[in-house]
Amino acid sequence: MRLKLIVQISLITGIVLLFTSALFGYFNISTLKRAFLQSAVSDLDHLGETIFRAVFHQMLKNDRDAIQVTIGEVGEGKGIERIRILNRDGIVAFSTQKSEIGTNLDRKQAPACMACHNNENSLEKSQENPCPLPQSRRFTDSNGKEVLGLTRPIYNEKTCWTGACHAHSRDTLFLGILDITISADPMLLMIRNYRNNTIIQIIFLILSISLCLTLLTKKLIIQPVHTLLKHTRAVGKGDWSLVKSVPGDELGELAEAFNDMTGKLKKNQEEMDAWASTLETRVEKRTRKIKEMQSFLVRSEKLASLGELVAGIAHELNNPLTGIMIHASLISEDPHLDDSLVEDCQTVIHEASRCSKIVKELLDFARVTDPQKEMQPVSKVIDRTTTLVEHHVDFRDTEIIKKYDPDLPEILMDASQVEQVLINMMINASQAMQQGGKLTIRTGVNASRKHIYIKITDTGCGIPEENIEKLFDPFFSTKGHKGTGLGLSVSYGIIRSHGGDIEVESKLGKGTTFTITLPI
């Protein structure tokens, strides 16, 4: 099972603190233990010196009872286990434990003798190199109690071998040994108390430091990491909210980097969503453009083929029609012609004229003429066109309304060709308003500021929806035998040669709007 980060940090911190604290406590307690032992030995040495000075004069007088009393009184002191004086032969001469007075100690086993007799049988063998006394020692007595002992030599001073009470040989080095044993319990108790206090302090220190480090780690590391983790999971679910609480350290820099990344991901996602939401519209628009282009190509191919065909036919028909019209005119003017045939001749002349007009339109349709473009104001071209058509018989009940954009720029165009287009549009509009109506002409600039537009709106009968796509096809007409169906085709070709386009909007019974766009 994977441990959490805070648990791992707490465990590692606790182990390091425990190890260092235990090492510190061990050296500290060992140092204090040595210090306590040295202090106790020093106190014991001072006690031995005090006792020696207390019985020194009594030993000079050889007052054995007084010596015993003094040792007994001093031995009543707190912590003193035993005080005794041994002669040079190892026999106990004086002792706080009167039962051992006169006993001879085993020099190999007795703690008081082992310091100097560990490898020797007697002190006499090393008179010239005596044992380095006084000697302190720590041992366990016969009762199993831990004690401290001090062995202090009693030297044969001059006052001893010249005394009146008894005399010692001048060559004798040692007269005896003062052996003091005190309880080690007070020292051990102090050591135990200090050790326990140290352990408690170490435990408290470890807990305090661990708690502080845990809280700081949680606040400075764990919480920011959890925030970043939560933020990462939220981003994975599509939530683009930013990290709000950002500390000012390396984790803060990481959070800022996360915010920057989230912002960029959000922007990319929004762009993708926007693209996806408009994809269908884009596809439809592109499909419409492709269809328009295909329609234009088909129409162009159709126009090119028809142009070649029509040009040939028109030339072949033009000469016979001219002959028919001339001879029909001559016959109609002959005075010998029967009056009943004059009307028939006029009918032949009229129909031949109409055929001639159709042939002329066919030749105009088939003829490819490059536009002669100049910078012209559109309003001026429109005004010339309306002046030409407003006296036409079809405009007797039609009101022409002009709404020009005053800021409309001049454009590069062939004015005569554009006039031809406008004449076709206006005459078609007037013919759609048999009972009269309004013809509105508007000009302006589109939103992209790259094209100007001319809108020609009538209040006529409108065009059925199924016929709108066929309006610009050659020879398509809704006027029956009265029209050739070439006017709008020629107009469309002229506008396309100018880099523009023609669009149609119509509703039955309400009217039609032709929108001509030309590039600025």
Q: Domain span at residue 401? A: 372-520
Assigned domain for 353 exists = no
Instruction: Report the CATH number at residue 157.
Output: 3.30.450.20
Greatest Cα pair distance, the chain, in angstroms, is 214
Within 13 A of 209's CA, how many CA atoms are on the CB side?
A: 17
Report the domain count for the chain: 2
Which DSSP string do the residues of 343-354 spell out, in sequence order? HHHHHHHHHHHH
**What are the helix (H) ranges across 367-469?**
378-389, 415-432, 465-468
Q: Is residue 93 part of a domain?
A: yes
> Around Cβ 57, how many Cβ atoms within 10 Å?
12
Name the domain boundary from 156, 190, 224: 190
Asked whether residue 284 is assigned to any structural domain, the reply reads no
Q: How many CB atoms lie within 10 A of CB 441?
A: 22
CA 371, 374, 380, 383: dihedral to nearest 10 degrees? -10
Query: Crossing angle of helices 5-60/64-75, nearest 10°?
Result: 160
pLDDT of residue 315: 64
Look at residue 362 and tell me if it is in a domain: no
Q: Radius of gyration over alpha carbons of the chain, in Å?
A: 67
Q: Please state, in angstroms and rounded to a whole number, the distance separating the CA atoms of residues 426 and 414.
A: 18
Residue 379 domain flag: yes
**Is position 162 within any domain?**
yes
Q: Distance (Å, rounded) from C-alpha 75 to C-alpha 61?
A: 22
- What pLDDT does residue 311 have? 63
**Does residue 307 belong to any structural domain of this protein?**
no
pLDDT under 70 in the chain at which residues? Answer: 1-3, 107-134, 159-169, 171, 240, 242-249, 296, 299-312, 314-316, 358, 361-370, 475-476, 478-485
pLDDT at 121: 43
* Residue after which a domain boundary falls, among 190, 212, 235: 190
pTM above 0.75, yes or no: no
Confidence (pLDDT) at 125: 43
pLDDT by residue (tens digit) across 480-500? 555 566 778 788 888 888 889
Is 249 domain-assigned? no
Pick the last residue of a domain from 190, 209, 243: 190
Q: Is the dihedral of CA 258, 264, 267, 273 positive or negative?
A: negative
Q: What is the pLDDT of residue 387?
A: 85
CATH (domain of 417): 3.30.565.10
Q: What is the pLDDT of residue 457?
A: 92
Decide if 408 contacts 377 (C-beta within 8 A).
yes
| Inter-axis angle of helices 279-333 and 487-497, nearest 10 | 130
